[in-house]
Amino acid sequence: MAASGMVPTDKSAFLLNRATGDLADGAAKLASDIGSTSVEAVLAAANRAMRRKGASATMGSMNPRPAEWYSFDDGDQQTTDWYPQGLSGSDDSGGIGVPSFLVSWYFKPEAGERGIRLSFVSPRTLKYRHALLVQAKPDGAYGPIDIHAGGIACHGDLLYVADTVRGLRVFDLNNVLDLRTVQNDLGDPQRVGRHAGKLHAFGYRYVIPQTDFWKVAQAGPRFSFVSIDRSGATPRLITGEYRENDPGGWVGRWDLDLAGGQPVDAFVMGHPKIQGATSQGGKWYLSQAANATTNGKLLVYEGQTLRTRPFPIGPEDLAVQDGKLWSVTEFRNKRTIFGVGL
């Protein structure tokens, strides 16, 4: 059993190799056929509404409750098809022109796979909109990406998405593509790709094609969550591993150009069920889940000193925005974005 606490480990075990292949060509072809729009434009066309301090069952026995939280609309609360997982925001990006959160969701049913989607959320208006993340070919064909998308982080225009057994998929937010620019409707909500001269994305208006890939050099490391630490002189990308009943999950920090593909440092976390992690100002924050009816915990390490703080039910990925630590919760009728003090 791994020792308790943040214990340094061999960082060479987590080597990533860049594997762009034809992804950039496929994305460029799709963008040339459809035309790109901006994140700000997507937010301006938001078609769903969040509710401030809704879905209060999410907070369970948490005391004190978060300073702020927003719940997704009834349709997204009640669905058993889609589950929110990853969280990032405009502060992570530094390039998005308006305050915003980004949330990744995965499609759970094995039948009728619909891949992963990304929500653009405005904390100002509490409006949001989904977009479909896709993989495109140089001939312009495209389709869904069947992964868990357990964590995301945005740096500049690049969105990093955790691919559990493969590494990190990369999407360029300059390539948010609006199907309405080339056709009058959104196609067949049951189809994706090009069919009978039309473009389809399961009824979504926006698609974002993958542009790059950082793949694990050897089988073994699992990439479950992602975040960014902007508190130091050099921003760092953080990713790590969820383990159900094993405290041996790892977490590592990379320079943001991922130069050399090896993390700057890596640690064994010493706790099971870690769904998200980030470091800020010499502290580590770990989001620990329980189950659909039991509160999670926020574990805060300063050196080897551990403090445990209350957290809602079902906490996932972590992000820092507006001086707060934010997370997203996943369970049905308990789906929120919430923020607590650092």
Give the global pTM.
Answer: 0.97
> According to the model, what pLDDT value does residue 4 have?
64
Helix (H, G, I), strand (E, B) or coil at 78: helix
Q: What is the pLDDT of residue 336?
A: 98
What is the rounded CA–CA span in Å between residue 19 and residue 12? 18
Give dist(CA 231, CA 320) in Å, integer.
10
For residue 30, how far is the Cα from the chain centroid? 23
Residue in the structure block whose two tokens are 């992963």: 116
Q: What is the pLDDT of residue 110?
A: 85
Q: What does the alpha-carbon distance between residue 202 and residue 213 come to, in Å, rounded to a whole number?
A: 24
Contacts of 260 (CB under 8 A, 6+ apart): none
Domain range 7-341, CATH class: mainly beta
- What are the two backbone dihedrals, phi and then psi, of residue 41, each rounded to the nearest 5 degrees? -70, -35
pLDDT mean by block of 10 residues, the chain; 342 residues: 74 96 98 96 97 98 96 98 98 93 96 95 98 97 97 97 98 96 93 94 98 96 97 94 96 93 96 97 96 98 95 98 97 98 95
